[in-house]
Amino acid sequence: MTLEGLGVALLPERLVSAEIASGELHRVEADWVPEPLSFYARFAPARAGLYVEKAAQIAKDAMRPSYLDQ
C-alpha cells in the first residue's frame, strides 16, 4: 500500500532496501520510535533439526533493528 502512495509504513530496511535505493520509497525521519519487540521460541535442538535452527536465525536477524546495524 505504501508503494501505491497510501501512507507510511514501518518496515525492516532489509526488506525495502531496493525500493529505497530506486527512490520508490523514502525514509521519513520521526521523533517516535516503536517499543522494542520481544520474540521467544523454544525448541529442543537435538530434535529440531537444521530447518528450525535456520528459521530461528532468520527470525533473530529480522528482529534486529537495521538502523542500529549501520
pLDDT digits (tens, 9 = 90+) for 1-57: 778 778 888 888 888 889 999 999 988 888 887 787 777 777 777 777 788 888 888
**Per-residue model confidence as pLDDT tens digits over 54-69:** 888 887 777 766 544 4
pLDDT attached to residue 31? 86
* CA angle, 67 then 69 then 70, to 5°: 75
pTM attached to this predicted model: 0.48
pLDDT attached to residue 21? 94
What is the Cα–Cα distance from 41 to 56, expressed in whole angstroms? 8
